[in-house]
Amino acid sequence: MRNSIIVPVYNELESIPLLIEQITMVMDGLHGESELILVDDGSTDGSSDLLERLAMADDRLVVVRFRKNYGQTAAMQAGFEVARGQFLGTLDGDLQNDPNDIPMMLAKLEEGYDLVHGWRKDRHDSLVSRKIPSRVANRLISYVTRFPIHDLGCTLKAMRREIAEELELYGEMHRFIPILAHWRGAKCLEVVTTHHPRLFGKTKYGISRTVRVLLDLLTVKYMLDYYGSPMKLFGRIGLGLLGCGLLMLLATAGMKIFASSDMTGNPLLILGAMLCIVSVQLFSVGLLGEANTRIYYSRQNRRPFAIRRIIRDRSPQTPQPTWQPSVFPRRYAA
């Protein structure tokens, strides 16, 4: 299997027939064998039954049904785990992403990129509820993570299989896939893609998701800078608080010695002692985080690095592999 196209679907009954028709036409023109994975995220409008009927008529279709609605991130993760292709493509199921952009993005992978993500430069969505919040969020995320990007919300992406296997998605993390992949050393590229107006139904995402995105941004920032060594974060904060606490205690002692002030009624004494105690707690949290990080990597057979290629001395008759298989185990057998 060379190509796997993954589409999360949630209550898209009207869009499904046209969506599958468009994608299968694109698949017919792709090099190598391809499959279309449709992840039903607990649809309640009849999409599940329709997907099953269509899958029975075309062996290139793979349907994954959730028991309930878990969200787009879970649907993407399930699609990655079921996919068998060497190259993976993802897009939304509402017909706003154009499947005709997939060959262009796969061609970029052939040029040597590890992940290609779309930029809906000419976006056909509501200005107040979709465009403006998205632009503000993208600029904030790009500034905080130091990753130059215009459109993190675009589901249209293409990536190598080994990159997808290294991702661990939860919460609303699907929109941070390019950043997480870049953190693992992937070579990423943003390309302009076509965006269509929505033809059927209404969007499943609104301005209410902003809080969840901001909370996930804090998680991503922590993962990028301190995931491998939590003590760098908690230790620095602890040292700062310890320094402030000691200065307050020294100031209290100075007031007692030189001004004969009452130490028991001095608020600096209580505040300084409290800061020292909190600093010790932060040091403890940092040490526990360091220990948990080591246990995580050792018990899960994981490493805090990613290997792009291993080159060894080989005889001329033995072909040299161009990529090293991922050490991350598949959760579902092909």
- Domain at 3-225, CATH from 3.40.50.920, 3.40.50.2000, 3.90.550.10, 3.40.630.30: 3.90.550.10
pLDDT at 309: 57
- Give the best-scoring range by mean pLDDT among 75-89, 124-138, 279-293: 75-89
Q: Identify the weakest region by mean pLDDT among 1-10, 43-52, 267-276, 296-305.
A: 296-305
Question: Region 167-193: what's the mean pLDDT?
Answer: 87
**Confidence band for 286, pLDDT divided at 50, 70 and 90:** confident
pLDDT (average), residues 30-47: 91
pTM: 0.73
pLDDT of residue 321: 46
Q: Of 102, 249, 100, 217, nearest to 153 (Cα)?
A: 217
pLDDT at 328: 41
Strands 115-119 and 157-160: antiparallel
Q: Please determine, for residue 84, whether its predicted confidence score (pLDDT) is greater than 70.
A: yes
What are phi and psi for residue 88, nearest 5 degrees?
-120, 135
Split at pLDDT 50, 70, 90, the class of 99 is very high
- Determine the average pLDDT of the residues in 302-313: 56
Going from N- to C-terminal start, the domains of the chain cover 3-225, 231-299
Looking at the predicted structure, is the pLDDT value of residue 261 above 90? no
Distance CA 77, CA 79 (A): 5
> Is the pLDDT reported for residue 3 higher than 90?
yes
pLDDT of residue 203: 67
Nearest one of 246, 239, 151 to 194, comparing CA atoms: 151
Tokens of 212: 């969840």
14, 98 contact by CB (below 8 A): no
- pLDDT mean over 253-265: 79
Better-scored residue on pLDDT, 305 or 212: 212
Q: What pLDDT is attached to residue 137?
A: 82
Q: Give the separation between CA 167 and CA 181, rounded to whole angstroms.
A: 7
Q: Which two tokens stand for residue 291?
A: 């220990």
The one-letter code for the residue type at 241 is L
Residue 61's Cβ-side half-sphere holds a number of Cα atoms within 13 Å equal to: 22
Query: Using one digit for the tens of pLDDT, what is the confidence trace for 136-168?
Result: 888 888 888 888 888 888 899 999 999 998 888
pLDDT above 50: residue 324: no
**7-17 tens-digit pLDDT:** 999 988 999 99
The reported pLDDT for the residue numbered 6 is: 95
Q: Are 48 and 234 in contact (CB under 8 A)?
A: no
**Closest listed residue to residue 36, CA positions, set 98, 77, 101, 82:** 82
pLDDT score recorded for residue 332? 42
